Structure 1
Amino acid sequence: MSNKPFTLLGKVIPEGKRTVIDLKIAKLHTRTTVNVPVIIEHSKNPGPVVLLLAGIHGDETNGVGIVREIIDLKLNKPNNGTIICIPVFNIFGYLIQTREFPDGRDLNRMFPGTINGSLASQFAYQFSEKIAPFVDYIIDFHTGGGERDNIAQIRCNKDDAKGLELAKIFNPPMIVYSNTIIKSLRETLHKMGKTVLLFEGGKSKELNPTIINEGVNGTRNVLIHLGLIEGEINVRATPIFIKKAKWIRASDSGMFKVRVQNGALVKKKEVLGVIQDPFGEFKKKVYAPFNGYVFCINKTPIVNKGDALFHMSINE
């Protein structure tokens, strides 16, 4: 629970007032300073501290769009507690629309970081030491890498009771059981005793209105449930739980046409897509090997043998 006074990054945050603090990372080779804006809304009343974070991968602009919309709608102004927004975490990658840090590393595999490690590791260390200890709940917004298009979903560890409870309140179309990845932000936060929701939706380098709307509505539900803002929780349907899943891979190389909608329930042997050559001599259908839901589709037009095409639930 937030206390008065609330201090973050060495600064006392005033009550009832918007505060922006720059988390200093490093300088470009041009000597230009690169900072990550941290937007803090600290209410006059006690309550949880919630962090809304996006852009840990610099090309995941849907997440940035979600946090931006939350700020625009003033959903980040709590009646109780504190809401911290970091719309663009990996500012380096965001500037040039790449997934990685300038040192070529995936920031989401560098936590909790080290004080004298690589640039990405040092940045992860700053977050782990200076921000993470002061928050109670985190919603981390992601998208599919490259051309992989995710249905809006929350990923949770099946043994994380508090996380699963909040995932249901978020009310996404799907909740996917997903183990934490070593050295990821989610693993580090779990080890610190924090409650984390990992949102996945859409693909990189896009602003998808449907995905952004799902992210905003889900976050609003969680903030209402935790007592930070007022309102009624909007529950549209019971989320589909994905307990086991498998990637369907390309058996051949060629041009790829998708024949199924993301989120669809498909039957065994149903045609999911077609792989064909550019010369009109070859065409190979991609069939569903079992019954299940499609919750991620590779939208790339050209595929190689072995490429992941569809992520499907395994319905028992």
Structure 2
Amino acid sequence: MSLKSINILDTEIKPGHSYKLNFNIAKLYTSTTIEVPVIIRRAKKAGPVVLLTGGLHGDEINGIEVVRQMIAKGYNKPLTGTIICMPVLNIFGFLNMKREFPDGRDLNRSFPGYKSGSLAGRFAYQFVHEILPHVEIIMDFHTGGAQRFNAPQMRVDPNFEKSLELAKVFKAPFLIHSGKLKGTLRNTCMELGKAYLLYEGGKSFESDKEIVKVGVQGAKRVLHHLGMLEDSFETSPEVPDSIVVKQTKWLRASYSGLFHPKVPYGKYVDKGEYIATITDPYGSFRHKVKSNQTGYIINVNQSPMVYQGDAIFHITSQDVKKRTKK
């Protein structure tokens, strides 16, 4: 593989060099420039170009922390190829501690964007045209929305072989088959023929050490598999393969009230098993919530209050074998 010339944001990325560029397309009301750092390290040897992104939603701290640790611990310094890190993609949402862009739009429903559209659409357009053309593999780190806590999981389209192969290398506890969704970064990357890995874990407004650790270890496995990291960075080979999940089903609240989950995320439950209670604030009502199927709990609603119809548990809905070591 030859060392091809790379030019990102009007900057020539030379072999063996490091760069910190600014991806900037808008300013605050005060005319203050907003910086979206793009941290690039390129090896002297040819190899893949990998992009690590976090903070596509501004309130998803775990994803930001995964990419931050990859940089801080030097895992973004490749033996071959190039590693590009954008820890906080939605810097506007991050500054406001909101999921959306200032225009109220979800950036992850705005791809591939528009040159003269909304702020989110313009950002997506520039990202697709300025960053993605140089990238072969994307690892995008997310969390569960609102108060819903996701078990650490990899989501991938099983029909896209490039992504599926790397998802298996990542070895998140759960590997969930998930199809295309219009407007997402994942859909755009797939249409461009680029391998894309979506990692989810934890919930918004929270940094969870275990969730972050799984994300960092998984990213290291992928980079090592690609020949981009030294052997000393290799993670333990004892980590079992992911539990492959082809179907899931939400369990919704039958009543409104105070919500008290009794089981942790990742637990294997039987149909009919007691997993939560819903009560009123006055001590006169108590409803036992039972699992509607047998499977693993991959998401728990951690909100203390729920309304009738709210999603409270996400459970795998087909028979899966328990995760075992090789």
TM-score category, normalised to shorter length: over 0.9
d(CA) in 2 for partners of 1:97, 1:276: 31
Give, in angstroms, the shift of residue 106 of structure 1.
0.2
- Do the aligned partners of 1:152 and 1:202 also contact (CA within 8 Å) in 2? yes
Distance 2:84 2:129 in 1: 16
Aligned residue for 2:211? 211
Kindly report the root-mean-square deviation, in angstroms, between the aligned alpha carbons of the 2 structures: 1.1
User: One-letter code of the match for 2:270?
Assistant: K
Deviation at 1:17, TM superposition (A): 2.3
**What are the within-5 Å matches in structure 2 for residues 139-288 of structure 1?**
139-231=139-231, 232-235=234-237, 236-288=239-291
C-alpha distance in structure 2 between counterparts of 1:21 and 1:296, whole Å: 37
Q: Distance in 2 between matches of 1:313 and 1:161?
A: 23
**How many Å separate the matches in 2 of 1:145 and 1:14?**
39
Deviates more, 1:88-97 or 1:6-15: 6-15
Letter in 1 for 2:236: N
Q: Return the alpha-carbon distance in structure 1 between the equivalents of residues 318 and 275 of structure 2.
A: 17
Q: Deviations over 1:231-290 (max 9, x none)?
A: 235331121111100110000000000111110110010011110001000011111111
Stretches of structure 2 that go unaligned for 5 or more consecutive residues are 320-326
Deviations 1:212-245 (A, max 9, x none): 1000000000000011112235331121111100
Listed as ranges, the gaps of 5+ residues in structure 1 are: none
Residues 2, 153 of structure 1: alpha-carbon distance in 2 compared, 3 angstrom cutoff: farther
1:92 and 2:86 equivalent? no
**TM-score where L is the length of structure 2:** 0.95
Q: Is the 8 A contact 2:6 2:134 kept in 1?
A: no
Cα distance in 2 between the residues matched to 1:168 and 1:189? 19
User: 1:89 and 1:135 mapped to 2: Cα distance?
Assistant: 16
- Normalising by structure 1, report the TM-score: 0.98
Q: Is 1:8–2:8 an aligned residue pair?
A: yes
1:260 is matched by which residue type in structure 2?
Answer: V
The CA deviation string for residues 14-64 of structure 1, in whole angstroms up to 9 with x for no partner, is 322220010012011111111210000011110000000000000001000
Relative distance call for 1:2 and 1:68 in structure 2 (3 A) is: farther
Aligned residues: 316
Q: CA deviation at 1:166?
A: 0.7
* Contact residue 25 and residue 36 of structure 1 kept, 8 A: no
Matched residue, 1:25: 25
Q: Percent identity?
A: 48
What secondary structure does 1:241 align onto? strand
